[in-house]
Amino acid sequence: MNLIEILSYGFIQRALLAGTLIAVLCSVLGVFLVLRRLSLIGDGLAHVTFGSTAIALALQLYSAASLLVSLPVVLLASLGILKLTEKARLNGDAAIGIVSAVGISIGIMLASVGGGYNVDLLSYLFGNILSISYEEVIIAAGLFCVVMVLLWLFFHDLLAISFNEELARVSGVRTNLISAVLVMLTALSVVLAMKLVGIMLISSLLILPAVSALQLARSFRACIVLAALQGGCSVVAGIFVSFLTNLPTSAMIVMINLLFFCCSCGVRRLITIRNIG
Amino acid sequence: MPVEIVATERLACGYREGYVLEDISFTVNAGDYVGIVGPNGSGKSTLVQALLGLVPISSGSARLFGSRCDNFSQWGRIGYLPQSLHLLNPIFPATVAETVALGLLSLKRFPRRLTRQDRETVETTLDVLGVYDIRSKLIGELSGGQQQRVLLARALVNDPELLILDEPTAALDPETRERFYHMIADVNRSRGVTVLLVTHDTGVIGQHASKMLYLDKRMLFYGGFDDFCHSPEMSSLFGEHSQHLMCHRH
> Which ipTM score applies to this complex?
0.87
Residue A119: per-residue pLDDT: 60
**CA of A164: which chain B residue's CA is closest?**
B87
Burial class, B70, CB count within 10 angstroms (exposed 0-12 / middle 13-18 / buried 19+):
exposed
Residue from the list A159, A217, A222 with its beta carbon closest to the beta carbon of B102: A159
| A268 contact B CB<8A | no
Note down the domain range covering A144: 3-276
Closest CA to A196 of A150, A147, A145, A242: A242
Residue A67: per-residue pLDDT: 83
pLDDT tens track of chain A, all 277 residues? 678 888 899 999 999 999 999 999 999 999 999 998 888 888 899 889 888 888 888 888 877 778 888 889 999 999 988 888 877 677 778 888 888 888 888 888 887 776 655 666 667 777 788 888 888 899 889 989 998 999 999 999 999 999 998 999 999 999 999 999 999 999 999 988 887 778 877 888 999 999 999 999 999 999 999 999 999 999 999 999 998 999 988 889 999 999 999 999 999 999 988 887 7
How close A164 gets to chain B, by Cα (Å)?
A: 7
Contact call for A160 and B52, based on CB within 8 A: no
B85/A23: higher pLDDT: A23
Contact call for A166 and B110, based on CB within 8 A: no
Residue B231: per-residue pLDDT: 79
- The CATH number for A20's domain is 1.10.3470.10
Residue B85: per-residue pLDDT: 56
| A152 contact B CB<8A | yes
pLDDT, one tens digit per residue, over B104-122 is 999 998 888 889 999 999 9
Which residues of chain A does B92 touch, with a Cβ-Cβ cutoff of 8 Å? 35, 162-163
Q: Which segment of A50-64, A213-227, B152-166, B194-208 scores lowest on mean pLDDT?
A: A50-64
**Fold entry, domain B4-87+162-247:** Rossmann fold (3.40.50)
Residue from the list A153, A164, A171 with its beta carbon closest to the beta carbon of B111: A153
Domain ranges (residues) in chain B: 4-87+162-247
pLDDT, one tens digit per residue, over A121-156 is 667 777 788 888 888 899 889 989 998 999 999 999
Q: Are A175 and A163 in contact (CB under 8 A)?
A: no
Residue B248: per-residue pLDDT: 67
| B71 contact A CB<8A | no
| B85 contact A CB<8A | no
| Predicted confidence band of residue B249 (pLDDT cuts 50, 70, 90) | low
